[in-house]
């Protein structure tokens, strides 16, 4: 795919993912145009001032809840990366209709606007919280995933195709536990909900590069799941504050002990490649190509890709290396007036 001929729109483009995605696109892929679509004018202004003032960039104020504004923003767009979401679990629990309006109805608006504007590829970002969800955030992301995948049925006589990526916790993203631990380190005590807890973990750059690869390879209807390492939350605490006291406070409502990226039922319609799994849609009419069945191998019956049974694990030293840039940024922010 020739990125230099593509116009790309990123919903939620001022977020952690959006900024890193745009940074890498500008530096390495040189698209014809990048459109940031988000609702916060201050974040857009700050993004411009922080170096994202490239002549190929445009900034659209808008909310994914506003279908007409999305339609306007998508005129002439080739690729949409749908990253806008309400993602803080406690906030979604306390404001359930707001989470539904943004994460589900907002995704429906992205679908409708992309179809109307003739966008060729729409890739939506999902999360491990969407698998066997136990909180509202996960439930809205599961619904959004199903909506995106099944919307290929509406695109049967068009060039528009819809797919998803699903991956785990991103180191240092907004809402990450890392800044919390860095703040708590100053008091010498870290709070852990459960010492047995495990999570899938990847860097922001790894997530971005996986999304770029998915855009290049998507045929329509897939959910792309990367093979990524797990980490123990206790190891994260040791990496950040090895001398700190640990206080166990118990699992919070809506929190899991371990996360799952691919469950047993999905595995029946998924294939495995060297560095990822690809989940095919359950309904053949939503599927635009059978190529993944030839490129990948079927998974064994009962297969489950979970953070506690993963074959890849980060050591304390690995975690410390991943956290170091976030630690440095945190220290700089603390010294600024």
Task: Name all domains of the chain by residue range, CATH numbers in brackets.
Answer: 3-335 (3.40.50.720)
Among 19, 129, 141, 256, the active-site one is 129
Sole residue written with tokens 């897939």: 222
Burial class from Cβ neighbours inside 10 Å (0-12, 13-18, 19+) for residue 277 reads: buried
The token pair at 264 is: 């047993």
20 is catalytic: no
Per-residue model confidence as pLDDT tens for the chain (337 residues): 899 999 999 999 999 999 999 999 999 999 999 999 999 999 999 999 999 999 999 999 999 999 999 999 999 999 999 999 999 888 999 999 999 999 999 999 999 999 999 999 999 999 999 999 999 999 999 999 999 999 998 887 889 999 999 998 898 777 678 888 999 999 999 999 999 999 999 999 999 999 999 999 999 999 999 999 999 999 999 999 999 999 999 998 888 999 999 999 999 999 999 999 999 987 665 556 667 888 999 999 999 999 999 999 999 999 999 999 888 887 787 776 6
Number of residues that make up the chain: 337
Alpha-carbon Rg for the chain, nearest whole angstrom, is 20
């Amino acid at each position: 795919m020739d990125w230099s001929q593509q116009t790309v729109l990123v919903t939620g483009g001022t977020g952690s993912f959006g900024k890193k995605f745009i940074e890498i696109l500008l530096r390495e892929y040189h698209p014809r145009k990048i459109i940031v679509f988000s609702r916060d004018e201050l974040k857009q202004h700050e993004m411009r001032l922080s170096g994202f003032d490239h002549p190929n960039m445009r900034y659209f104020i808008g909310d994914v809840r506003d279908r007409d504004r999305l339609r306007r923003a998508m005129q002439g767009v080739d690729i949409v990366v749908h990253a806008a979401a309400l993602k803080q679990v406690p906030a979604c629990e306390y404001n359930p209709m707001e989470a539904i309006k943004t994460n589900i109805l907002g995704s429906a608006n992205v679908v409708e606007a992309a179809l109307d504007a003739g966008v060729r590829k729409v890739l939506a970002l999902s999360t491990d919280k969407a698998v066997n969800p136990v909180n509202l955030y996960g439930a809205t992301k599961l619904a959004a995933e199903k909506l995106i995948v099944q919307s290929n049925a509406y695109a049967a006589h068009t060039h528009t195709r819809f797919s998803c990526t699903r991956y785990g916790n991103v180191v240092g993203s907004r809402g990450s536990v890392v800044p919390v631990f860095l703040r708590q380190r100053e008091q010498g005590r870290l709070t852990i909900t459960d010492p047995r807890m495990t999570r899938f973990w990847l860097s922001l750059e790894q997530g971005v590069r996986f999304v770029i690869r998915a855009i290049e390879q998507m045929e329509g209807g897939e959910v792309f799941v990367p093979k990524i390492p797990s980490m123990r939350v206790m190891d994260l605490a040791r990496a950040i504050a090895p001398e700190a006291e640990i206080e166990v406070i118990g699992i919070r409502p809506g929190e899991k002990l371990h996360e799952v990226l691919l469950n047993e039922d999905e595995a029946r319609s998924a294939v495995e490649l060297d560095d990822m799994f690809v989940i095919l849609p359950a309904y053949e009419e939503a599927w635009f190509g059978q190529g993944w069945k030839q490129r990948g191998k079927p998974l064994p019956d009962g297969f489950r890709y979970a953070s506690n049974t993963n074959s890849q694990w980060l050591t304390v030293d690995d975690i410390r290396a991943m956290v170091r840039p976030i630690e440095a940024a945190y220290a700089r922010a603390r010294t600024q007036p």
